[in-house]
Amino acid sequence: MSLLVGGLIAGVGIAILTALLARKTILRSDASLASLYLIALAVGIFILSAAGSAVPLKSFLFGSILGIDDSSMMLVGGVATMTLVSFAVLLRPLTVSTCDPVFFESQTRWPWLVEQGFMLLLVLNLLAAFKTLGTLMAVGLMILPATAARYWASTITGQLVLGFVCALSSCWIGLTLSYLLPETPSGPAIVLMAGGFFLISVLFGPLGFGGWLRNPSDAENMSVAHTLTEERTQ
């Protein structure tokens, strides 16, 4: 319980600092979050090692299926429910602020609230994934399904659906492998499955190498259009 409370306090602090750095400095929110997350992770590992915590460092970093008890399941279920309900409200303004931040800021009095709310949800999901995935592997499940879905769908709705299916399948297969092979940490097993989906998407997805090999001109045009869109949002 003390680890969860400490992680929640540190996570909320990281979310606030991330939004502050994104608004007041040249760094974007993703770079700010990655930097602060790594610093906080290093501090946590240092404290656990120096204080001689009863929590095994391997379980802390990579997760363990044996550490998933009823309280952990309730935490994961509660955070998942909160995330789904919150995204019902945040999805549209978050999409607009991502695609056209200048327009969004001109239409909203407090545009930072959307980004701050998203960062808080991100921190809560990282905290909920502590026992299952471990602190080192939790980020992988957030990034790999989304990047894999990007090679199959060009719309936000399609990417959300495919990312959800990829993440769910990775968790189910990874946890099954971790249960059948008790010496295998659950975190790397889940992220490895997500990495497998990502490699398949890169090789065979219509927006990956598969689409480029079938029609190089269309793939190049889509790549240029995506680059121009990224430049407009920066």
Per-residue pLDDT of the chain (234 residues; tens, 9 = 90+): 566 677 778 878 888 888 888 878 888 877 888 888 888 888 877 877 777 665 666 666 777 666 677 777 888 888 889 999 998 888 889 888 888 888 888 888 887 788 888 888 888 888 887 767 777 788 888 889 999 999 999 888 899 999 999 999 998 998 888 888 877 787 888 899 999 999 999 999 888 887 776 666 555 555 545 554 544 445
Domains: count for the chain: 2
- In angstroms, the CA 66 to CA 63 distance is 9
- Its pTM stands at 0.75
On the 0-12 / 13-18 / 19+ scale of CB atoms within 10 A, 63 is buried
Backbone φ, ψ for residue 165 (5° rounding): -65, -45
| Tokens representing residue 100 in the block | 């056209």
Whether residue 126 is found in the same domain as residue 222? no
Q: How far apart are CA 126 and CA 70, in angstroms?
A: 18
* Domain end among 86, 112, 136: 136
Q: Name the H helices within 2-69.
A: 2-24, 29-51, 57-62
Range of the domain at 177: 138-234
Q: Is the dihedral of CA 128, 134, 135, 138 positive or negative?
A: negative
Answer yes or no: do 128 and 147 share one domain.
no
